[in-house]
Each structure stands twice: as structure tokens, then as C-alpha cells.
Amino acid sequence: MRRPLLAGPARWLPRTLRARLTAGLVVLLAVASLTVGLTTVFALEGFLVRRLDQQLTAAGGRFPASLEHGERPPDADNRPDTRGQSDRTFGARLLHGTTTDAAVVRDQTDAAVPLTGADRRVLAGVPVDGDGHNVRLSALGGYRVAAVRGDDGDVLITGLPLRPVEETVHRLETVEAVVFGSALLVTGVAGALWVRLSLRPLRRVTTTAAGVAELPLASGEVAMPPPVPDADPRTEVGQVGTALNRMLGHVGDALARRQASEERLRHFSADASHELRTPVASVRGHAELALRHPGPVPEEVRHALERIQAESERMSTLVDDLLLLARLDAGRPLARRPVDLTRVVLDATGDARAAGPGHRWTLELAEEPVTVLGDEHRLQQVIGNLLANARTHTPAGTRVTVRLAAVDGDAELTVADDGPGVPDTLQGEVFERFARADPGRSRAGGGTGLGLAIVRAVVVAHGGTVTLTSRPGATVFRARLPRRTAAPGRGCV
């Protein structure tokens, strides 16, 4: 099943535990740095602004009050009197809400400031409370101003520039950005290395679990991987490793018991099949001998002997099939000789046409003969079982198509029919032993349920594969066999 694609910001979120821990560490440090940075910036800005307010309070309205007297006598250095104000100090006098005078100290002299209509409205809106307020004038920029009432009923506004405060705050912001950015970078790299080192035991657990997941646990004897090295059980990783080791022990014990049980079952099946061959053959032989008696035989006795002969033949076939499966399970090698699969398919299809004249048989062969290296007798059994399965489980009039072709260096045999199809509930186990469409014990719907199991066992023993796709009106069994094998066997089943 495909994973759903992540949309939006979730696509960029880290997925591995190591990446999440590292990202979380960096994010927490970034939040802490941002908090510290904002706190220091606001604290410094507030401190500097309060210093300006103190200077404005100390200055009072002396400078704007001096503006209403026009020309003033020069001081001892022959410069106009600025009442001891610092450079760039702003002063304005308002009378009845109208600005009458506005000047700024420059080089120990006061220079008139051109005010726009907006500037005059801004100055008129400054509260007359002696506290500092921020304003922005078109000719001067940002200023911290305080307004007090004069002796003549006018309003005197004194201001100091905010530019030094802004420059100091910006310089602090730059320093903090460089320092905190460097700290985040170093912390990210060091945190990634530390998390990688800390999660090394977890990676060993993951590697072991992945190795177990790739093992063929469903069949055969399985060698379990070594346990995860012991870790501190007081840690989460140590607890996971201990739990995994305990689980691997249980799984290994269960697999060993299952393997031993399957071996005993194989031995029993092989021994029982081998031992049954002789008495079955004896029963069959006595029945045939009795039927050949020259004297008169009652009809009831003859019918009973014929049934004994038929059932003994069927039982003999069942015993042979069980013995073949037991030998294949035991890994007995097959014969490895060149086999003309084209001729085998021709013969098997001819036999199937004779056995099922009510079906419509179609044969499609490659232009060149298809040969494989294998056991001819067992391959005849594979093809015969596939054709018998199609004949037995489809009604008369069904078209059965047999195809043989060379595909990608393999021999591909396909048996397709347009019958009712294999039920969905049976498709997953159709190649299992004693799998039957009819769950009852009646033989009306087919044979013993070993035919397709033999097909798969023989094909797998040849290094090939067999698959089924089925729906009503289209059922296809497809067997692929390698045309060459790496090493020939030394015997035959």
C-alpha cells in the first residue's frame, strides 16, 4: 500500500527520530534565544527612552521659552544663547494650539525648522502632561518630546532625537542575531552528533528487527539473527532491546517447534505413503485377479470387485501424490535433462481433448521448440494437472486455451479458460494441499485437492513460479520455468 503524500507544511517536518530530536533541540534553543533577545532589546530600549525622559524633565521648557523673545544676546563665545541645550535638541512654542516658533539646536545655535501641516497637527496633539511621547517630524525624523505650559499661557515642547536610541538598539539586535545564529548552528551540529551517538543502540535494534522481517519465516528452517547487545535496562533503548531479545527468543523457539513438527509430519507422510503402496497394490491385484475368474460370478460380487478395483486405483494415485510431495519437501533433487516442452504440451493437450471432448481446446505454441532443463516426467505431471483442473472445474462448452512461449529467457506456460472462475475466498490457498472449492468431503466437484499443490511443488523445485489470476469468465494459471539451471541434480524423485 502506498503512503499518502504529505501536503502543506507537514511535508517538510522531520520524520526520523534523530532528525526530530535534533530539530526539537534547535527549535527550543531558538525560542530561548528569541525570548532572551526580545527581552534585552525591549529592556535596553526602555532604559534609553527613560534616560531621554529624564533629560527632557531636567530641561523643562527653557529652550522653547527662549524662542518667543526673538533675538538674544550672544554668550561669552559670541554665539547665540541656546540655554545650555545639547545638540539636535528640538523646541517648539504653541499658542492657542498654533505653532508660533520651532527650532533645533545645531552646532550650539538654534535653527528654524520648517513644519508641514501634518507636523503642526502632530505637535498640537502632544498631551501637555510633562511626560515623554514619540513623534515623527518630516524634517527631523523621530523625536521624544514633552510638553509643559508656559508662563504666558502658551505650550512649550522640548524634544530629543530618537536616532541614538534606535542605532543602539539596532546594534544590539545585530550582535544578538550573529551570536544566537552561531550558537544555533554549533548547537545543531553538536546536537546531531550527540543524538546520533545516543541512538546507536536503537539503530542496532532496528537493524536486527529489519533482518528478522526479511527472513522467510513462513517456510523451512530459519536461522534467527544474534540478539541485540545488552544495554542499560534503565534506559528506554535498553528496555526496547531487552524486549526485542525476549521476542526473538520466543519466535526462535516457536519456529524450532514448528520445524520439528513439520519434519515429523513429512517423515510420517513419506513413511505412511511408502508403507501403503504395498497393501494397496495387493488389494488392487487381488481385485483384478478375482474379476478374471473364468467361472460364473454373481453380479453383486462383480460390482463390488469393480468398486474395490476403482477405489484401490484412486488410493494408489493418492499415495503416489503424497509420496511425491513428501520427497519434494525433503529436498530430493529432480532429474536434470533437456526436455522438449513443446512436445510435452502437445501430448498433454491431446490427452486432455480426448478426456474432455465437451470442452473447446485451443493450443498456441511458439514458432521454435521450447526446451527446458528438468524432469520430463514431473513436467508432464504439471501440465496434466493444470489441464485436468481446467477440465474438472468448468462446465462443458468452456474454451480452454493452452499457450507456450519463451519470455525473457524463461519458458512460460499459460492455461486460461472462460469458465466461472475461482472463488475469491479460495484464490489465496488454491495451491495448498487438500484445497477444494467444495469444503465437504464429496468427490463430485473434483479430486483430492493435491493436483495444484503438486504443480507448485514441482515448478518451485525447477526454480520457477506459478501464479493464478481469476475472475468470472477469465481464469489464468501461469507457470514460468527457467530454460537453464545453475547446477544439474544428481538424481531424480
Q: Check: CB of residue 371 under 8 Å from CB of residue 339.
A: yes
Grid coordinates of 198 = 545516543
Give the tens place of pLDDT for each residue, 67-103: 776 544 444 444 445 556 788 889 999 988 888 889 9
Domain that holds residue 95: 60-71+81-161
Question: Which comes out higher in pLDDT, residue 424 or 159?
Answer: 159
Segment 179-196 mean pLDDT: 89
The verdict on 141 and 246 lying in the same domain is: no
For residues 274 and 372, membership in a common domain is answered with: no
Whether 8 has a pLDDT exceeding 60, the answer reads no
- C-alpha 313/C-alpha 277 separation (Å) is 11
Average the pLDDT over each of 205-219, 376-390, 479-493 and give the range with the smallest value: 479-493
8 Å CB contact between 402 and 345: yes
**What is the pTM assigned to this prediction?**
0.48
Mean pLDDT (whole number) for 204-230: 71
Residue 33: inside a domain: no
**Could you tell me the CATH number of the domain that includes residue 92?**
3.30.450
3-state secondary structure of 131: coil
Mark whether 230 and 305 lie in a shared domain.
yes
At residue 267, the pLDDT reads 66
Q: Per-residue pLDDT for 478 more than 80?
A: yes
Q: For residues 441 and 231, which has the higher predicted lDDT (pLDDT)?
A: 231
Q: How far apart are CA 172 and CA 180, in angstroms?
A: 12
> Does residue 259 lie in a domain region?
yes
Lowest mean pLDDT among 93-107, 255-269, 339-353, 397-411: 255-269
Q: Same structural domain for residues 316 and 452?
A: no
**Distance, CA of 209 to CA of 248 (rounded, Å):** 9
Beta bridge partners of 158: 91, 146
With respect to residue 265, please indicate whether it lies within any of the assigned structural domains. yes
Contact (Cβ atoms closer than 8 angstroms) between residue 335 and residue 294: no
Query: Which residue bears the cell 516426467?
Result: 377
412: β partners: 405, 480
How far is the C-alpha of 128 from the C-alpha of 146, rounded, in Å? 7
Regarding whether 405 and 315 lie in a shared domain, the answer is no
- pLDDT one-digit tens code per residue, 413-425: 999 999 888 888 8
119, 144, 161 - which closes a domain: 161
- Say how far apart CA 144 and CA 164 lie, in whole Å: 11
Domain assignment present for 182: no
Instruction: Give the count of domains, the chain.
Output: 3
Over residues 271-318, the pLDDT tens digits come to: 665 666 677 777 777 777 777 777 777 778 778 877 887 777 777 777
Report helix, strand and coil shares of the chain as percent, to nearest 5: 50, 20, 30
- What element of type H or E holds 469? strand 465-471
The mean-pLDDT minimum among 9-23, 96-110, 412-426, 453-467 falls in 9-23
pLDDT digits (tens, 9 = 90+) for 365-414: 888 888 998 888 889 989 998 999 889 889 998 999 999 998 888 899 99
Per-residue CA distances from 347 to 150, 219, 353, 372, 423 (Å): 126, 35, 10, 16, 30
* Distance from C-alpha of 378 to C-alpha of 124, rounded to nearest angstrom: 110
Residues 147, 235 within the same domain: no
Alpha-carbon distance of 407 to 341, in angstroms, equals 14
Task: For residues 326 and 320, give the distance between their C-alpha atoms in angstroms, rounded to a whole number.
Answer: 10
Residue 449 sits in a domain whose CATH number is: 3.30.565.10
